[in-house]
Amino acid sequence: MIKLENVSLAFGLSNISCYIPQGKLIGIMGANGAGKSTLLKSIAGILPLTSGEIWLGNCKLSDMSAKQKSERLAYFAQNTHIHWDLSVYDVIALGLTIPTKDEAEKVRSVSEQFSISHLLEKPFQQLSGGEKARVQLARCCIKQAPLLLADEPIASLDPYYQIDMMEQLKSLTPQRTCIVAIHHLDLAYRFCDEIILLEKGKILANGATQAVLNAENLARAFGVKVKMDQAKREIFAIEKMT
């Protein structure tokens, strides 16, 4: 379990307190500038806190070494461009912080998990956007950290791979906890177990997805009105409020 206690940053978060359960797919949502990426980077230990504390299990994030953080979490950044001429195999292997004698077996195993074994010898730069996303997810998962943080991983993907990526993230639970910053209301409503909804750096609501993503909260957070089918887990007919 992850616990945030009065987490604040000078540029984006104000007194954030919540519990994040283990083995769930958690969505962080909010309008542009609400603090989604900032919160995710804070949990990853990338951004230092102005005040407050983040706990990963029984350990304070601020007390953990870089090695300990690497063992506990993986971070899937918004910008995952690879500027070198690497094969898919090489990109996946980058996820191993320390090369090991069983590297080839680990790459093979994780590539099978994400159905990209046939791509291993291909140059990464020649892949489609959706294929690159799967490869980068495999890179994050190869070390089998119990926590995966993904910063808007579907923002640049076409609809097919948006759904595919959410399916892949969902499949990692309950063995892992996945926290994803996401803009897509319909996909968050469909796939996420819980939502942390932010408004101007503060928590507007958090908890079970269908309870948080209700008409009132969506109107306040995004200025939109929607129709939803709770039984089918669908949000549709999204319109700007006048």
Whole-number pLDDT of residue 22: 96
Q: What is the pLDDT of residues 103-121, one digit of tens each?
A: 999 999 999 999 999 999 9
> Please, are residues 181 and 40 in contact by the beta-carbon 8 Å criterion?
yes
Q: What is the pLDDT of residue 78?
A: 82
For residue 44, pLDDT over 90 is answered with yes
Amino acid at 29: M
The DSSP H or E segment spanning 103 is helix 103-113
CA 233 to CA 217: how far, in whole Å? 17
Question: Can you give the pTM of this predicted structure?
Answer: 0.95
Taking the C-alpha atoms of residue 200 and residue 203, their distance in angstroms, rounded to an integer, is 8
Token pair recorded at residue 130: 């959706």
Closest of 51, 42, 106, 31 to residue 69, by C-alpha: 42
Residue % of the chain over a pLDDT of 90: 91
- Which region holds residue 42: left if phi is over 0, alpha if psi is between -120 and 50, else beta? alpha
Q: 172, 180 in Cβ contact below 8 A?
A: no
Are the C-beta atoms of 200 and 206 separated by less than 8 Å? no
Q: Distance between alpha carbon 133 and the CA centroid of its chain, in Å?
A: 13
Residue 83: Cβ within 10 Å count: 6
User: Rounded to the nearest 5 degrees, what angle is found at the Cα of 58, between the Cα atoms of 52 and 61?
Assistant: 45
| Distance from the first to the final alpha carbon of the chain | 41
Alpha-carbon distance of 222 to 95, in angstroms, equals 36
Task: Report the largest interatomic distance among the alpha carbons of the chain, rounded to a whole angstrom.
Answer: 61
Query: Average pLDDT of 56-79?
Result: 93
State the pLDDT confidence band at 135, using cuts at 50, 70 and 90: very high
Domains parsed from the chain with CATH numbers: 2-240 (3.40.50.300)
**What is the band of 40 on the pLDDT scale with cuts at 50, 70, 90?**
very high
* Contact of 25 with 208, CB cutoff 8 Å: no
Is the pLDDT at 25 greater than 90? The verdict is yes
138, containing H or E segment: helix 129-141
209-226: average pLDDT: 96
Least Cα distance to 138 among 109, 111, 175 occurs for 111
